[in-house]
Amino acid sequence: MGRENKKQAVAALHREKILQAAETLFSEKGFDQTTIQNISQVSSYSRRTIYAYYDSKEDIMHHIIENGLLQLSHDIQTVLQNKEGFLSQYFAVCAAMVRYQTDCPQSFKHVMEAHTENLNLEQLADTVQRIFALGTEINEHLARWIEEGKQQKVVRQDVVPLMTVYVLWSSVTSFIDLVQTKGAFLCKQFAMTQQDLYAYGFRQIINGILEERISHE
């Protein structure tokens, strides 16, 4: 490894450690209550070093969101490249979404809460522009997948692919959030495991666009 490559690798490691400390604090204390000083203490990097890598606390959060979406995008593309059939791909996409919520909770949370009305992307920071580009890329991959489902006669012919992506995204992420917040109660009430809950809910969601409904047995 050349000197410049080694320098870049070390910088990437420092950046990642700062992000990990920040995400832990954001989850425990909340974004507003977390300060750069808190991040400095937990990461063991000075404030000066943190500002050498990130412009602000907001910039740190944006990179956390971006990293989570990069992982999700990679996982979804891997799933869709595996030609095991539409329904198998769907449940694998749902599993990727569960991992996204589990492994990248701050990214998941802020993507769910994002308001994009009246935004001028050209005036946004580069990281935020990349976040929107990643979201668009994920949606386009999923829209093509739904179109393939229509061509295979698995998905109803009246389904509008991109609009359906938004509906499925909203439904799946909301259900994941429900299981994460009320899963213990629901498991006890319905005598199900968490895996059973996910399977039941994901089947309910996808049945809305299928030519033939799948059973809940």
Torsion of Cα atoms, 160 then 165 then 171 then 174, to 10°: -160
Residue 113 is predicted with a pLDDT of 82
- Residue 96: which residues within 8 A CB-CB, separation 6 or more? 72, 75, 76, 79
Give the C-alpha separation, 26 to 39, whole Å: 9
Residue 6 is predicted with a pLDDT of 82
Residue 112 is predicted with a pLDDT of 84
Positive or negative CA dihedral for 155, 159, 160, 165? negative
Residue 23 is predicted with a pLDDT of 95
pLDDT in tens, the chain (217 residues): 566 778 888 899 999 999 999 999 999 999 999 999 999 999 999 999 999 999 999 999 999 999 999 999 999 999 999 888 999 999 999 999 999 999 999 999 888 887 666 556 566 788 988 999 999 999 999 999 999 999 999 999 999 999 999 999 999 999 999 999 999 999 999 999 999 999 999 999 999 999 998 876 5
Residue 120 is predicted with a pLDDT of 61
Counting Cα atoms < 13 Å in the Cβ hemisphere of 171 gives 17
Q: Which long-range contacts (CB under 8 A, 24 or more apart) does 34-43 make?
A: 43/17, 43/18
